[in-house]
Chains A and B, each alone.
Chain A
Amino acid sequence: MRIAAPETSDLYIPTKRPFNFGRWFSRTGWRHLIGAIMVVFASFPLLYVLSASLHPGGTLITANGLFSEVDLGSYQTLFNLPQQPYAAWYGNTLLIGGITSICTVFLGALAAYSFSRMRFIGRRPGLLMLVLVQMFPQLLAVVAIFLLLNGISDIFPMIGLDSQVGLIMVYLGGALGVNTYLMYGFFNTVPASIDEAAKIDGAGHARIFFTIILRLVAPILAVVGLLSFVGTTNEFVIASIVLITPEKQTLAVGLYQFVSQEFSSNYSVFAAGAVLAALPVMALFLWLQKYIVGGLTAGSVK
């Protein structure tokens, strides 16, 4: 039986009001329903690939029986493939992604500091250029990059085609631009009076930059570093044309070729590779998610 409660405002909910399904559903219940549907939609492919990876010797067909078998055999197979050096791909991806993101953060922070704290001729055109460069990703010029590296490898094989150093250098070409504008916005939120106080105390520009500013903008550095790392991990186009030797390739290139050779027959091994490849990125992402949400919106929502 329903006890007639006095009409209250939305904000005032008596603690001992008996549960009423209809009222609950119309207020928050339907939100949970949508939430449940979306949770299934969002997480299903991930559960699917996890279950496929735990089914040793599995094909695409057997992957359909979700979690019918749980065994780590595929993960062992993965590291003992004769043609596909998975461990090398993994190491390369972490190495290339790590170095690229550290250098990107550093180069971007240097530029953002000068744009934010110094006044010089060409500053506004420079800022405009940062915004415009974002619109033209490097992969548009992939043919020219390939031929340029091809030319370089005649002279310096160290940084030419099939060289990871060369690939990192290409990636660093995009260091200014995409993320520097984000950093620039964040640098501007650090009050200039801090710099001035330090200057009066006798600190030079380098000391102000390295010991004061860089520490105050640490969150945005983390975001930019992560975005750059994720971007490098996902990058396929340039990596696929630069890196030729299998031992030098990254996960994106290697796993794509692995899959296109034997897609349905060896699916569980691919799935195991995918799960392991996703782990570091997802861990970083969930760990830093608060900063990321802040960073993503910082560019526009002021």
Chain B
Amino acid sequence: MTNPSTEQGEAQVRASRRSRQAARIAEAASAGVKVLLVKIFLLAIVDAISVYALFVLLLRSDWVVFGAVLLVTLIVNWIYFSKQKLPAKYLTPGLIFLLIFQIFVVGYSGYIAFTNYGTGHNSTKQDAVNALIVSSQQRVPDSPTYELTVVEQLGNYSFLVTDPKGRVSIGSTDAPLRRVTDATLNDADKAVALPGYTSLKFTDIVANQQKIAALSVPLSSDPNDGTLRTPDGSKAYLYLSDLVYDEAAGTMTNTSTNTVYVDNGKTGSFVAADGAELLPGWKVEVGLANFAKAFGSESIRGPLISVTLWTFTFAFLSVLTTFGLGLFLAIVFNDMRMRGRNVYRVILILPYAFPAFLSALVWAGMLNPQFGFVNQVLFGGADIPWLTNEWLAKFSIIFVNLWLGFPYMFLVCTGALQSIPDEIQEAATVDGARPFQVFRLIKLPLLLVSVAPLLISSFAFNFNNFNLIYMLTNGGPRDVTAGVNVGATDILISMVYKVAFVGANRDYGLASAFSIIIFLLVALVSVISFKQTKALEELN
């Protein structure tokens, strides 16, 4: 990696002003009008998108993101309109994606790991209060009847209501009722149309019955005032919640049972004195609670440790078995006298060319205990639980991964073997080395030097080989004693996926805490292995 021309290059950077000037003139002379037009055109597109984004963000008064988008846009324009900054011009497009979807998301994982983000804790406190009140609403007996016309604007439905006193208002789920004066009234003084909105006809109401029945329009900006709902699309009634929110005290009171639920500031939900919790709650920072859960509670710590051990074992054995078989085959087929080597080679790399997720699914079929080919044909109808017994499942995974991975190692080892000069081998033979000695003492060390980086990246790949595990065994057999959804063959990344996205109870906070643990482990492995390979390179 050390480039001998670096120093010379730095000298170039400090080149005299005159030569820079000359370079600039040459650059300007060479760049045609076409190139300039393309550049302006592309920048115009980028700027147009940014301006649109800024406009939307301005409307939502989302200032942090607004600032970030503005800053990036300004930097991009500055870089591309500047006469210098050549390297930046080439690096910026890739870097923007890298920064957002690779670097930022890592930091964001770190943040999520310290929150209780997950099912029941998805959004802000205000949203949670509204959701709680709406979900516990009941129609108020003997409440006034509002005459209703459902109107539509840009695909969103609104309620155009005339109250018993003849006052006309409009509102939607997001916007509380507000008075309007320019509505068209019919003979019975019911508002039937409003400029800018399309009134729904009876057939439209029937067609969208479910959507309309689900609408609930707040009477005012105070959620305690209740909302309007309609059972039929022509009349609306007042619905009130038996939960009352007291913003000053931060409490939620159930008026029918007189239970007071208090926001204790820790769990992100309203909790009663007897410990009963109102859900949904909202997202709060919980400090180290997720890590405490991961390491503190026995039902999660046990699985976490065994999953970590299996992840390392799996990654190590995968590299060992695939490299072993690949190297063996490379030696077997690396003989000039053998005919048809190319035919063998093409057939042997077929498993590598077959998409990996499909291979895992096909093998899952072949290893199926009741109907699969292996049990039915190869073992004559035996009932071997290849994928459901803990140890056999682990063996199956290593075996299938061997099938998937040996062609790659075979290709790599063949290339590495052929790059070792024949003279070395001849010299050793002349000195009286036996074939095995030649291999062990000369070829293998030389080969390891060149393939060591690939072995490390293979280890890193298998460390996170989600597809194989998830598609072959789905992590199973499941460990029923564990506090999280995890099985005997789950590796860390498949555990993260299951905790965050599988099943009804999603826990993004805990999953992110696991992600952070993987990050640290991978970082540790990288540091050790990169140091190790440098040592290996010095052997040469």
Contacts and interface: CB of A to CB of B under 8 A. Distances in A.
Contacts of A48: 362, 366, 373
B339 A133 contact: no
A28 B335 CA distance: 8
A267 B361 CA distance: 11
A197 interface: no
A123 B352 CA distance: 35
B93 A110 contact: yes
A174 B414 CA distance: 29
Contact of B451 (A169, A206, A300): A300
B358 interface: yes
A234 B356 contact: yes
Contacts of A236: 357, 466-467, 470-471
A41 B30 contact: no
Interface string A69-96: 0000000000000000000000000000
A30 to B, nearest CB: 8
B98 A175 contact: yes
B193 interface: no
Nearest to B509: A143
Nearest to B30: A204
Contacts of A170: 101
Nearest to A108: B94
Interface in B306-354: 329, 332-333, 335, 337-340, 344, 346-354
A117 B98 CA distance: 21
A256 B348 contact: no
Contacts of B362: 45, 48-49, 271, 274
Chain B's interface: helix, strand, loop or mixed, by majority?
Answer: helix
Contacts of B97: 107, 169, 172-173, 175-176
Chain A's interface: helix, strand, loop or mixed, by majority?
Answer: helix
A136 B518 CA distance: 9
Nearest to A172: B97
A158 to B, nearest CB: 10
A255 B361 contact: yes
Contacts of A120: 13, 87
Interface stretch (B250-258, B266-274, B405-413): B405-413
B376 A127 contact: no
A43 interface: yes
Interface residues of A, number: 107
A301 B412 CA distance: 9
B515 interface: yes
Contacts of B333: 31, 35
A299 B454 contact: yes
Given A137-B464, A203-B30, A143 B496 contact: yes
Interface in B83-128: 86-87, 90-91, 93-95, 97-98, 100-102, 104-106, 108-109, 112, 117
Nearest to A27: B337
A236 B469 CA distance: 12
Contacts of A108: 94
Contacts of B452: 300
A157 to B, nearest CB: 11
Given A31-B335, A206-B31, A140 B464 contact: yes
Interface stretch (B54-62, B130-138, B141-149): B54-62
B506 to A, nearest CB: 9
Contact of B350 (A142, A282, A294): A282
Contacts of A3: none
Contact of B102 (A32, A138, A234, A299): A138
B371 interface: yes
Interface stretch (B4-12, B207-215, B218-226): B4-12
A173 B102 contact: yes
Given A31-B338, A173-B100, A255-B361, A135 B522 contact: yes
Nearest to A107: B94
A220 interface: no
Interface string A220-241: 0000000000100110110011
A130 to B, nearest CB: 10
B138 to A, nearest CB: 30
A153 to B, nearest CB: 12
B91 A297 contact: no
Contacts of B86: 114, 118, 205
A4 interface: no
Contacts of A270: 361, 365
A138 B391 CA distance: 30
Given A177-B98, A202-B30, A233-B355, A264 B371 contact: yes
Given A49-B362, A155-B57, A202-B30, A296 B464 contact: no
Interface in B428-455: 450-454
Nearest to B416: A301
Contacts of B338: 28, 31-32
A243 B218 CA distance: 33
Contacts of A146: 500-501, 508
A274 B511 contact: no
A217 interface: no
Contact of B460 (A60, A135, A144, A300): A135
Given A143-B511, A145-B105, A256-B357, A206 B460 contact: no
B94 A42 contact: no
A25 interface: no
A31 B332 contact: yes
Contacts of B464: 137, 139-140
A22 B21 CA distance: 77
A188 B512 CA distance: 39
Given A292-B411, A297-B411, 17 more contacts: A41-B403, A48-B366, A131-B530, A135-B457, A140-B106, A141-B109, A147-B117, A177-B98, A202-B30, A237-B493, A237-B497, A263-B365, A278-B353, A297-B450, A300-B451, A301-B450, A301-B451
17 contacts: A42-B407, A61-B371, A108-B94, A110-B94, A119-B9, A126-B91, A147-B508, A155-B57, A155-B60, A204-B26, A234-B355, A236-B466, A255-B358, A256-B357, A256-B471, A297-B416, A299-B454
Q: Sorted from nearest, which 4 A-B pairs have the closest CB atoms?
A: A173-B101, A119-B9, A204-B30, A60-B371
Interface of A: 10, 27-28, 31-32, 34-35, 38-39, 41-43, 45-46, 48-49, 52, 59-61, 63-64, 107-108, 110-111, 113-114, 118-121, 123-124, 126-127, 131-148, 155-156, 169-170, 172-177, 180, 188, 199, 202-207, 209, 230, 233-234, 236-237, 240-241, 252, 255-256, 259, 263-264, 267, 270-271, 274, 277-278, 281-282, 285-286, 289, 292-294, 296-297, 299-302
